[in-house]
Amino acid sequence: MPTPHDLPFTRTTCSGCGAIVEGLNNRFSCTVCGWVNRWDDSTSPLPSAEDDPDYPGSKKR
Ligand SMILES: [Zn+2]
């Protein structure tokens, strides 16, 4: 299990308000103004609905 220190945090400047925002895999959301970057700016594929632990069709419960 990785610790937060092992994760590849990336940093950018918010396109909405200029604040410094940090994220994982080039996915960012600004807690100041609510800006989020495009999903396809990320370097990793977007998880599918089936990857969500709360997915209704999940059989892992
Ligand atoms: Zn912002």
Residue 9 Cα to ligand 1 middle (Å): 18
Q: Is 9 left (phi over 0), alpha (psi -120 to 50) or beta?
A: beta
Amino acid 9: pLDDT: 84
Instruction: Give the dihedral sign, CA 51/54/56/61.
Output: positive
Residue 11 Cα to ligand 1 middle (Å): 13
Higher pLDDT, 33 or 6: 33
Residue 18 Cα to ligand 1 middle (Å): 6
Amino acid 21: pLDDT: 95
pLDDT tens for residues 7-60?
778 899 999 999 999 998 889 999 999 999 998 888 888 888 898 889 998 665
Residue 38 Cα to ligand 1 middle (Å): 14
Residue 45 Cα to ligand 1 middle (Å): 24
Amino acid 60: pLDDT: 58
